Amino acid sequence: MKNIAFIFLLLLSFTGLYAQVPQGPERKVVQITGVVAEDDTLKGVPFATVRIKGTGRGTSTDFYGFFSIVAREGDTLVFSEVGYVPFVYFLPTPMEDENYYMLVKLEKDTVNLRQIKVGPISKEGFADAFLNLRIKDDDYERAMKNLDQQELEAIKMGMPMDGSINYKNAMQMRSAALYSAGGLPSPSIFNPFAWAQFFKALKKGKFKDPYKDINK
């Protein structure tokens, strides 16, 4: 009986605490539709960010600055875009209608650039600066340099053989071996792969006389 009475009192205490928590009225859901425009020209600001402060919900304007978002009474809307001062709007409470239309004007953000001092220059200094001016290449000039035939030939000669070329070389050697089976092998003077192997071995110094220093 004591345990039952203790549990009963504990339930009453929790019920009293829950009754003390204020239960506010449910906020009305409204549809917010409008335009985000420049303050001076009223031209729509495309792709501006519209978010509800304190939540992870938001949207962005279209190419003409139109937007539409669902919010609740008392929410705070934040409008922002690069190059403009952010704008904050507090939705009133209560709101009579479920549809709310608004025009948001964003002011252009002023950016102070670093001061540059321009001084006089002599004729000789101007001529030297003009002759030593290095203008960066544009996309077309860089593409033409990358497609230069001499550059491509140099890159091709320095690149190792890939799998397909090695396979073709192996098949040609196999065919030559079968063709000359039982007889003298065919000369490889016209074989480009043999010449490539020869020049590679020549660069590595494999044809040097090992007794050159001793004979001296």
With tokens 């919900």, the residue in question is 57
Average the pLDDT over 82-108 and give the result.
91
Q: Does residue 198 belong to any structural domain of this protein?
A: no
Average the pLDDT over 89-105 and give the result.
90
CA 193 to chain centre: 44
The parent domain of residue 152 ranges over 119-179
Query: What is the number of other CB atoms lying within 10 angstroms of the CB of residue 61?
Result: 23
Residue 6 confidence (pLDDT) above 80: no
pTM of structure: 0.43
Q: For residue 146, what are its two tokens?
A: 């990358």
Is the same domain home to 93 and 144? no
Is the same domain home to 92 and 36? yes
Q: Does residue 191 belong to any structural domain of this protein?
A: no
Is the same domain home to 90 and 45? yes
Please count the structural domains in the chain.
2
Question: What burial class does residue 176 get, using C-beta atoms within 10 Å of its C-beta: 0-12 exposed, 13-18 middle, 19+ buried?
Answer: middle
Q: Is 9 helix (H, G, I), strand (E, B) or coil?
A: helix
> CATH no. for residue 85?
2.60.40.1120
Q: Does residue 196 belong to any structural domain of this protein?
A: no
Q: Is 98 helix (H, G, I), strand (E, B) or coil?
A: coil
Residue 204 confidence (pLDDT) above 60: yes
Q: Does residue 200 belong to any structural domain of this protein?
A: no
